[in-house]
Copies of this chain bind each other. A is one copy, B any other.
Amino acid sequence: MPQLRVALAQVNARVGDLDHNAALVLDRCREAYEAGAHLVVFPEMVLTGYPLEDLAMRASVVAASRAKADALARTLAAEGLGDLVAVVGFLDHAEGVTEGPGVPKNAPQNALAVMHGGEIVARQAKIHLWNYGVGDEIRTFVPGDVLHVLEIHGTDVAMVICEDLWRDGIASAVRASGAGLLVVPNGSPYEADKDDVRLDLCRRRAVEGDCALAYVNLVGGQDELVFDGDSLVVDAEGTLLGRTAQFVEELLVVDLELPAARRLMPPTDTRFAGLRITRTVLSSDPVAPYEPVAPPVLPRLDDLEEIYRALVVGLRDYVEKNGFRSVLLGLSGGIDSTLCGAIAVDALGPERVFGVSNPSAYSSEHSRSDAAELAKRTGLDLRTVPIAPMVEAFQEALGLSGLAEENLQARVRAVVWMGLSNQEGHLVLACGNKSEVATGYSTIYGDAVGGYAPLKDVRKTLVWELARWRNAYAEAHGETPPIPENTISKPPSAELRPGQLDSDSLPPYEILDGILDAYVERDLSAAAVVAEGYDPQLVERVVTLVDRAEYKRRQYPPGPKVTRRNFGRDRRVPITHGWREHLVKD
């Protein structure tokens, strides 16, 4: 059987930065070539970064992507890498499409360029566009209807892109094409437990397609998305042959024994399930037999570590890709801001993290001492700016009371943070968690202020779990646990009035998070939530809070998605609406 050495390039692309991404592809091609690879596969839209959103419909972006792809193919050959076959995701233009309602402007296509011998020898467009969850591709891409098969060193290789793999039917077309290897570039964002789903999917499709399958994904943060990599190769029986580490750039090199080309070759331009199958011969001679190397099969991280790393990578890339040098956050001594501080230190190093303690008349002594303890343990910079003088100045003019007075304190703190941010150049972090964002238990323009919100998709009970995990990880590695014990064990409080506790306003977080999981992440009706055993009055109260907090969520900073359904672009509900999930009759 013909042999093929395949390199999977798991890389961190930058959206819109074509020069950077082209240089990245060139470097990895060189590395793959030096490793003896015959074929190197990059993630979906690696040349432009992903997702481009509406930038994909700009004529200038489409033209730049196509020109850069042509130039890159020439450069690869000029650098002596022309024999290597490189599959490079890019933004292409669909030919022969008439503009009109429902056709994306400038007919952009999410495509793969197959680079070989200084040229683009084939272009494979994405067939099934991703248009659910955080995917919005139908508004920006024209779908393809062709399945390309490449003959490389005497074996047939087919290619499809990300969502194509999730849909039934494509694997049968690959089987009909006779290809022995299916390569699948992806831009598949992280969410908890998705790695298990992906491996199962790859195994199933390999068996259905009777082909080995190489799955290549992006890594790195992009606004609210974090790409986790998790690239892998299975053989035609679905056996896992190689798998990358998560959340880091890596080049995985795999040796495959594949069926000889044309084992089932259908006539040229056969149509199968609406697809035209077409074929391009790059090289028919098998490579000389060689001793295969066993690739690594790296284990998955455990659940908490995986989420923690997603938060760290998401924050780091948001800061760096947006050109900030440092972050600033209010440190109250509470669990949310303390965990954010630990994540920031892990992402950027302590010298790039600036904490501010803003004690008020209602702040406990431990709010200061716990913040100081975090600074001592991690080395982040901490300063103290008491807010009483500013609060008093407002109160002399306004005489606010109740909730208005509570919110005033939170907003005065935010003005301090933003002032320091403007003066010194830090990105401000909003430290609220998903349970607060869900219920609106935050002050808009107060603690909700910031450029990025690391815990936006982390429910409160998971905040505690991650804090405990991070400390245990430090202990297991002989380091100082960053989170003060008292911060983990004390009852949560906003400290905006004397003796205030979260439990005055909200149910216990174990119960609240259970209801939120059912109502938000699993999209159950309120009645179905009650059927899971929760108190009807409490459920009605919580779902009403969630429904009414949408106006706050719209103005909340972006934060990394780690669950199946966050409060970013994958849950779109109106602010203004009269829908109520009534359970309790008046």
Q: A residues near B, CB below 8 A?
A: 14-17, 20, 49, 51-55, 57-61, 100-102, 104-105, 128, 131-132, 136, 138-139, 163, 166-168, 221-223, 317-318, 321-322, 385-386, 389-390, 392-394, 396-398, 400-404, 407-408, 411-412, 414-416, 418-420, 422-423, 444-445, 449, 451, 523, 525-528, 551, 554-558, 571-581
Let me know if B578 and A14 touch, CB within 8 A: yes
A-B contact pairs, 14 of them (CB 8 A): A17-B577, A20-B578, A52-B577, A55-B573, A101-B166, A136-B136, A139-B572, A221-B576, A322-B551, A322-B575, A389-B397, A390-B390, A390-B397, A400-B423
A194 CA / B221 CA spacing, docked (Å): 40
Let me know if B525 and A60 touch, CB within 8 A: yes
Cβ–Cβ < 8 Å partners of A396 in chain B: 389
A576 CA / B17 CA spacing, docked (Å): 10
Let me know if B419 and A404 touch, CB within 8 A: yes
Number of this chain's copies in the assembly equals 2
Let me know if A408 and B415 touch, CB within 8 A: yes
Let me know if A576 and B390 touch, CB within 8 A: no
Given A572-B53, A573-B55, A578-B17, the answer on whether A102 and B394 have CB atoms closer than 8 Å is no
Cβ–Cβ < 8 Å partners of A415 in chain B: 394, 408, 411-412, 415, 445
A528 CA / B422 CA spacing, docked (Å): 34
A527 CA / B61 CA spacing, docked (Å): 12
A343 CA / B576 CA spacing, docked (Å): 20
Cβ–Cβ < 8 Å partners of A411 in chain B: 414-415, 418-419
Query: In whole Å, how far is A331's beta carbon from the nearest beta carbon of chain B?
Result: 16
Query: In whole Å, how far is A181's beta carbon from the nearest beta carbon of chain B?
Result: 23
Query: In whole Å, how far is A165's beta carbon from the nearest beta carbon of chain B?
Result: 10
Cβ–Cβ < 8 Å partners of A105 in chain B: 523
The 5 closest A-B pairs by CB, nearest first: A16-B579, A17-B578, A60-B525, A404-B422, A16-B577
Query: In whole Å, how far is A71's beta carbon from the nearest beta carbon of chain B?
Result: 16
Cβ–Cβ < 8 Å partners of A16 in chain B: 574, 577-580
Cβ–Cβ < 8 Å partners of A574 in chain B: 15-16, 51-53, 55, 222-223
Cβ–Cβ < 8 Å partners of A100 in chain B: 167-168
Closest to A16 in B: B579
Query: In whole Å, how far is A296's beta carbon from the nearest beta carbon of chain B?
Result: 30
Cβ–Cβ < 8 Å partners of A51 in chain B: 574
Let me know if B393 and A419 touch, CB within 8 A: no
Closest to A135 in B: B139
Query: In whole Å, how far is A561's beta carbon from the nearest beta carbon of chain B?
Result: 14
Let me know if B398 and A389 touch, CB within 8 A: no
Query: In whole Å, how far is A549's beta carbon from the nearest beta carbon of chain B?
Result: 13
Cβ–Cβ < 8 Å partners of A57 in chain B: 523
Closest to A140 in B: B572
